[in-house]
Chains A and B, each alone.
Chain A
Amino acid sequence: MAATEETIEDVSALEKYKYGFVTDVESELAPKGLNEDIIRFISAKKDEPEWMLEWRLEAYRRWLEMTEPKWAMVNYPEIDFQDLYYYAAPKSDDDRPETLDDVDPELLVTYEKLGIPLREQELLAGVKNVAVDAVFDSVSVVTTFKEKLAEAGVIFCPISEALQTHPELVKKYLGTVVPVTDNFYATLNSAVFSDGSFVYIPPGVRCPMELSTYFRINEAKTGQFERTLIIADKGSYVSYLEGCTAPMRDENQLHAAVVELVALEDAEIKYSTVQNWFPGDENGKGGIYNFVTKRGDCREANAKISWTQVETGSAVTWKYPSCILRGDNTSGEFYSIAITNNYQQADTGTKMIHLGRNTKSRIISKGISAGKAQSTYRGLVNVHPKAANARNYTQCDSLLIGDTCGAHTVPYIESRNAGAQIEHEATTSKLSDEQLFYCRQRGIGEEEAVALLVNGFCKDVLQELPMEFAVEAQKLVAISLEGSVG
């Protein structure tokens, strides 16, 4: 290349927009690919403080040195991280359907089966001009919620908003449970996270409501790299429900969320998830890759963290909601139902890290596989030498429907304290033809019978869900397994 041409190119490059692509901050979509400029763009879009940008950039630099983990029992084509979009503004009203008639009828059928009220269906489907407030007719429930929460001093807002209004709290806790360099996907999330929720419960406050109904109807715009931070200050309590039984579609295939929970002295956090992302079709085409890092830190004495999850969606799930039992007398719980059908794959479980004295953990996992699906429970119980009187109970049950699916259980137990009591029970069974016939002889149709039997199998976990969602979750179990027999 001639020197002159080179100079011309250099000069024109300098003239390019400083974020490295020809668009301005008003743009609704960053171009594909990931580099420092994209991260600057995301941060600028959200008008973040300087330290947040630095934090993201640091994460990005570390991420460049990391490799994708391959140890999970899941198979998927190589992801080209430069072929993804990392920023897209929420859909404008113009792209939204006019009425429910414009919505995919298959989606509506599922809403119907779940018993979701019409107005709420419109909201979930993103129908134009349906505002959250309008969903609950005359009374604006949302406004009431906001007032009640404010009265109690609870902070509950998008994390992007918290960065503006309570930067000191975010700065103090962000990344303290899941460090920036924790793992490939968490590090990626740290660099590019889109949005998510921020919750702070002040000392001694029992959050006056389940943070669920509100959340469910506000959730649509969280994006693919969700970041959630919940802090329960001393002596406080909060129950939080994430997700939705209604099927969620998304054009972004890769989802890598991070959730951090911090429970201080005597505080309790109950975190429930219903995950129903698009699992792909019955031939395994499409579907979301869900690589999530969720961890709770019982940072001070007597804290308690409980995870409950119902995982029915996504093509590939990689998820281990964990508890660090740091304070003395802390306890961690993990209740899980993971349903895989067709070509779905799930590698999920938990980690219970016992550091403090008299720490307790309880793991109840129910895995159901049907079709050609593969489901793996992977769990770690780790007892530190100083964790005197640590106790763990693990029960891990797998149910197979048909003979082309698989269930795997991979427990890791690392105890470095001879006084620890660790119990592990595991069963694998097949949905029995006899049970099925028994139900059918009583007049219960085949699919309903499967749903009944599977819901029975999952009961120990279902009863941990907040009441309002337990019923919907039961229906979801049924819908997820449609077509799995016969």
Chain B
Amino acid sequence: MLEIKGLRAEVDGKEILQGLSLSMKAGEVHAIMGPNGSGKSTLSYVLSGRDGYDVTGGSMTFQGKDITALDPEERAAMGMFLGFQYPLEIPGVPTMTFLRTALNAQRKARGDEEMDAPTFLRLAREKAKLLNVSNEMLKRPLNVGFSGGEKKRNEILQMALLEPTLAILDETDSGLDIDALKVVAEGVNALRSPERSMLVITHYQRLLDYIVPDHVHVLANGRIIKSGDKSLAHELEKNGYDQFLTDAA
């Protein structure tokens, strides 16, 4: 599904990822944990192809295809989804319009028929209901004036509609209280399937109580320095990152 080998990437001439390797199979949920500044968000941006995040070495293949030179929208059409830590506000564009534009852009890129408005409306409402997203919210401009929890639920709604094969969730738990976290986690869990992999990036172990990963990796200084199962997350919670950082040094 996703194969990253010795990936090096820089931002503004500064190398952030320094030979990162990671392998994910279909249906697996991997968690990436790491201290601030370890390169977690950079990894999500490099994977999704954001401008200004330049790959300088190594390789990344998604579904058997080298994606290094692909535009963000091409990667999205291949089934890659990034849940943003800070979802952007798009004034004047109703959430519904945005969602339909995105879905149809992807369908078109894949050579599928565009979905007509009534069918889409039904689908969106159905998915929205599961995530506690009101119809009223769907009419509002995307994320404008949404609370932190609403924004994150909206991210998961987008994921539910776009049905990606790889979902990268960047600090989805940040800014959520425990109730909102539960709703979001339930939404994510409902989307777990043998065809869908998830890369859950988080600072805290808390999220992983709700979204239980198959594998946990520790990211430090732009590299994965330790991998294990979910118990690794608990160990980190208890002892902090320092022990690994000293080990790696």
In the complex, the answer to whether B73 meets A440 with C-beta atoms within 8 Å is: yes
When the two chains form their complex, are residues A448 and B105 in contact, meaning their CB atoms are under 8 A apart?
Answer: yes
What residues of A have a CB within 8 angstroms of the CB of B106 in the complex? 442-443
Known: A437-B72, A457-B92. A444 touches B105 (CB 8 A): yes
Cβ-neighbour of B71 out of A440, A456, A457 (below 8 A) = A440
A460 nearest in chain B by CB position = B92
Q: Which residues of chain B are within 8 angstroms of A438 by Cβ–Cβ distance?
A: 84, 87-88, 90
Chain B contacts of A443 at CB under 8 A?
73, 76-77, 102-103, 105-106, 109, 162
| Residues of chain A contacted by B82 (CB below 8 angstroms) | 441
B105 in contact with A445 (CB, 8 Å) = yes
Would B71 and A455 count as touching, CB distance under 8 A? no
Contact with B along A433-451 (1 / 0, CB 8 A): 1110111111111101000
Contact of A453 among B49, B76, B90 (CB under 8 A): B90
In A401-417, the 8 Å CB interface with B consists of: none
A-facing mask of B131-146, CB < 8 A → 1, else 0? 0000000000100000
Assembled-state Cα–Cα distance A434/B143 (Å): 14
- Whether A456 contacts B91 in the complex (CB less than 8 A), given A437-B51, A443-B109, comes out as yes
Contact present for B51 and A433 (CB under 8 Å): yes
B50 interface residue, CB < 8 Å from A?
Answer: yes
Report the nearest A residue to B76, measured CB to CB.
A443
Residues of A within 8 A of B76 (CB): 440-443
Known contacts A448-B101, A452-B101, A458-B92: A437-B50 contact under CB 8 Å: yes
Question: Given known contacts A433-B51, A452-B93, A456-B90, is B101 in contact with A441 (CB within 8 Å)?
Answer: no
Residue A46 at the chain B interface, CB threshold 8 Å: no
| Contacting pair A435 B88 (CB below 8 A) | yes
> How far is B244's CA from A78's CA once the two chains are assembled, in angstroms?
73
Chain B residues whose C-beta falls within 8 Å of the C-beta of A459 in the assembled complex? 91-93
Q: Which residue of A lies closest to B141 (CB)?
A: A456
Determine which of A432, A433, A452, A458 lies in contact with B98 in the assembled complex, contact meaning CB atoms within 8 Å: A452
CB distance from A463 to the nearest CB of B (A): 10
| CA A453 to CA B98, docked complex, whole Å | 10
User: B residues within 8 A CB of A442?
Assistant: 76, 98, 102, 105-106, 158, 162
**Is B48's beta carbon under 8 Å from chain A?**
yes
Interface string of B97-136 (1 = CB under 8 A from A): 1100111011001000000000000000000000000000
Mark out the residues of chain B between 154 and 183 whose CB falls within 8 Å of any chain A CB in the assembled complex: 158, 162
**A457 CB → nearest B CB, Å:** 6
| Chain B residues within 8 Å of A453, by CB | 90, 93
The count of residues in chain A whose C-beta lies closer than 8 Å to any C-beta of chain B is 23
Chain B: minimal CB distance from A92 (Å): 44
- Determine the chain B residues whose CB is within 8 A of the CB of A437 once the complex forms: 50-51, 72
Q: Is the CB of B73 within 8 A of A446?
A: yes
- Residues of A near B92 (CB, < 8 A) are 455-460
Chain A residue contacts of B102, Cβ below 8 A? 439, 442-444
- Contacts of B51 on A, CB cut-off 8 Å? 433, 437
Q: Considering the chains assembled together, what is the distance between the CA atoms of A439 and B99 in angstroms?
A: 10
Chain A residues near B73 (CB-CB < 8 A): 440-441, 443-446
Tell me the chain A residues, 443-486 only, with Cβ under 8 Å from chain B: 443-446, 448, 452-453, 455-460
Q: Which residue of A lies closest to B91 (CB)?
A: A456
Q: Are A457 and B77 in contact (CB under 8 A)?
A: no
CA–CA, A453 and B51, complex, Å: 18
Bound CA span A448–B82, Å: 19
Q: How far is the CB of B157 from chain A (nearest CB, A)?
A: 12
Q: Are A441 and B72 in contact (CB under 8 A)?
A: yes
A457 CA / B101 CA spacing, docked (Å): 17
- Cβ–Cβ < 8 Å partners of A432 in chain B: 88
B106 vs chain A, min Cβ distance (A): 4
Q: Which residues of A contact B141 (CB under 8 A)?
A: 456
Report the bound CA distance from A442 to B89 in whole Å: 14
Residues from chain A with Cβ under 8 Å of B158 in the complex: 442
Per-residue interface assignment for chain B, residues 74 to 88, with 1 indicating a CB less than 8 Å from any chain A CB and 0 otherwise: 001100011010011
Give CA–CA (A271, B85) in the complex, Å: 45
Q: Specify which of B52, B72, B81, B91 is in contact with A457 (CB 8 Å cutoff).
A: B91
Rounded to whole Å, the gap between the CB of A391 and the closest CB of chain B is: 25
Nearest 7 pairs between A and B by C-beta?
A: A456-B92, A459-B92, A443-B76, A443-B106, A442-B102, A456-B93, A440-B72
A-B residue pairs in contact (CB < 8 Å), sample of 27: A433-B51, A433-B52, A435-B90, A437-B72, A438-B88, A438-B90, A439-B98, A439-B102, A440-B73, A440-B76, A441-B48, A441-B49, A442-B162, A443-B102, A443-B109, A444-B73, A445-B105, A446-B71, A452-B90, A453-B90, A456-B91, A456-B92, A457-B91, A457-B92, A459-B91, A459-B92, A460-B92
Known contacts A441-B76, A442-B105; 9 additional CB pairs below 8 A are A432-B88, A433-B52, A441-B49, A441-B81, A443-B77, A443-B162, A446-B73, A453-B90, A456-B141
